[in-house]
Structures are given as C-alpha cells and as structure tokens.
C-alpha cells in the first residue's frame, strides 16, 4: 500500500470473514477468529492503517454478537499505554505450541488473552461459544459486556499456546520506540 499511495493513510472497511453475509457454520463459529487474525496480520504487513470490522448484530452470519447479545468468538477491545506491544498468535494444530521471543524477559510481565472454543478438539472449531482464559465468554445481561480480563504471566523465556487456540499477549511495559 505504501508503494501505491505513499504518504496516504490506507483503510480497509466493511471487512469480515466472507462475502455476502458470511458462511453459516463458519463465519459464526470459533474458526472465524483464525481467519480474522490472519486478515489483521496481512493488513499490517501490507501497511494498512485501519481495518474496520463489520457488523455488530443481525447481518448474515459474521456479526459480533448473537440474537441473545452473547459475544461471538472475535469480539473485544482494551486500551493500554503508549509503547505497549501486542503479539497475536494462532495455533491451528491439536498440540500445544511454544513461542520464544528474543529479549522477552526484559519486556516484563505479559498479559495473556487466550481464546478457545468451549468444546475440545477439531469439533470445537465449529462452536459458537468461546472461552477466554478457560472462562466462558458471555454477556452479563442484555446491556453489559463481560470483563475481558487477561492472565498475568511472569517474565519467562517462552509463551505457551494451547492447541486450537488464538491468543493476544500484551507487553504493557515494552516501551516500543515506534509508539513514542
């Protein structure tokens, strides 16, 4: 994008997992989160400044909450101080994966947000329910989103990523130079 339109900000709007309202049993399932994170990574690699997700409720099968207002698998935001770094990771395999980052210990405490289907194995990929750090992710009532709380991990050499999961690891104390 930077080569085609140098100096201009590039946005991707009205984006989701599939054209024309999504694909039932896919866009409304846990597996759609893998596609969404892949899209975000590709957008970052291509130099896009903003990616806009569509739609909150009731359009096809890629909406963010269901008819009961329970969040579907790709919902959630949280703010951090300038200089924080978020790493997202996908594990499409059944076995746990280990992530090693150079200098990870010096980045301080890590806040982990690990999303998994509420059912184990490959069958769980088609689930419409998701857990955040092993807790079901559901609306508190018809107006209140659940708390999206990460698990604090002490500084370590490796991060563990369970099978069939996607995760966000927040390094709040990273003080990334690009963010200053």
Burial of 174 (C-beta count, 10 Å sphere; 0-12/13-18/19+): buried
Q: In Å, what is the CA distance from 123 to each residue of 40, 94, 103, 118, 180?
A: 25, 11, 37, 10, 43
- Look up the pTM and report it: 0.67
Read off the pLDDT of residues 65-118 as tens digits, 9 standing for 90 and up. 666 666 565 544 455 667 778 888 999 899 999 988 776 666 777 899 999 998
Residue 105 and residue 166 in contact, taking contact as beta carbons nearer than 8 Å: no
Percent helix, percent strand, percent coil in the chain, to nearest 5: 15, 30, 60
Read off the pLDDT of residues 117-166 as tens digits, 9 standing for 90 and up. 988 888 888 888 889 999 998 888 887 878 888 999 887 778 889 999 99
Read off the pLDDT of residues 27-74 as tens digits, 9 standing for 90 and up. 677 777 777 778 788 888 888 777 766 555 555 555 556 666 665 655
């Amino acid at each position: 994008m930077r080569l085609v339109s140098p100096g201009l900000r590039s946005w991707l709007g009205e984006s989701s997992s599939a054209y024309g309202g999504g694909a039932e049993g896919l866009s409304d399932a846990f597996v759609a989160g893998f596609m969404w994170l892949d899209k975000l990574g590709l957008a970052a690699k291509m130099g896009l400044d903003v990616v806009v997700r569509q739609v909150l409720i009731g359009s096809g099968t890629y909406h963010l909450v269901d008819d009961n207002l329970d969040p579907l698998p790709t919902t959630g935001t949280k703010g951090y101080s300038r200089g924080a770094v978020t790493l997202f990771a996908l594990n499409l395999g059944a076995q746990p994966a280990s992530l090693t980052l150079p200098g990870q210990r010096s980045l301080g405490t890590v806040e982990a947000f690990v999303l998994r289907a509420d059912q184990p194995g490959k069958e769980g990929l088609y689930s419409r329910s998701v857990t955040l750090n092993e807790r079901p992710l559901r609306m508190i009532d018809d107006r209140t989103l659940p708390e999206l709380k990460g698990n604090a991990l002490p500084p370590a050499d490796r991060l563990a990523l369970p099978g069939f999961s996607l995760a966000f690891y927040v390094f709040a104390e990273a003080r990334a130079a690009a963010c200053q």
